[in-house]
Amino acid sequence: MSSEFLILVDENDQQWGKMEKLKVHQLGLLHRAFSIFIFNSEGKVLLQQRAADKYHSANLWSNTCCSHPHFGETLAQATKRRLQEEMGMDCPITFAFKFIYKVDFSNGLCEYECDHVYFGYSDDLPQTNPLEVQGYKYVEINELREDLSKNTENYTEWLNICFDRIISHQGKRQKSA
């Protein structure tokens, strides 16, 4: 894990400090993060399978891209950077909602995040970074809902936590289109 600095926030998402990434996860401090969900023209969501060497949630299926903005970096800069670094993609994204969650992992690390969720739309195929991603697939939302209920352990905690809000937001978007 590199020595990047994350943005520490309070429960109102107000920045109050910075700290090195590993230390933040060891101490379980609330920090700013983001998750990106890319949908194609068929309405399928692009999932990635996290690389085997990730420091937590390795090999699990998750949303298209997720990470943290670096200290001094805006969410707009961070989302564009990481979508390119992880998935080799560049497409417009829009903010959908944010939520706070906390998960303790068996290796002693903790994710305590104020997660900003973004949606994007693209039919481009990803050019994945093998250090970050070991696989990807497009999945219909109903198929994903069914598999999440049967095989929760195959997916990241944050995907399980926010899935219902993803469905709700997508439904609102489709009604307004």
Q: Which listed residue (66, 111, 157, 162) is catalytic?
A: 66
Residue type, 24: V
Phi, psi of 159 (to 5 degrees): -65, -45
Q: Which listed residue (65, 86, 111, 113) is catalytic?
A: 113
Residue 18 tokens, joined: 């910075």
| CA distances for 130 relative to 39, 58, 59, 85, 97, angstroms | 21, 13, 12, 10, 29
Active site residue 113: yes
**From CA 131, how far away is CA 96, in angstroms rounded?**
28
Active site residue 65: no
Q: Which residues are catalytic?
A: 66, 113
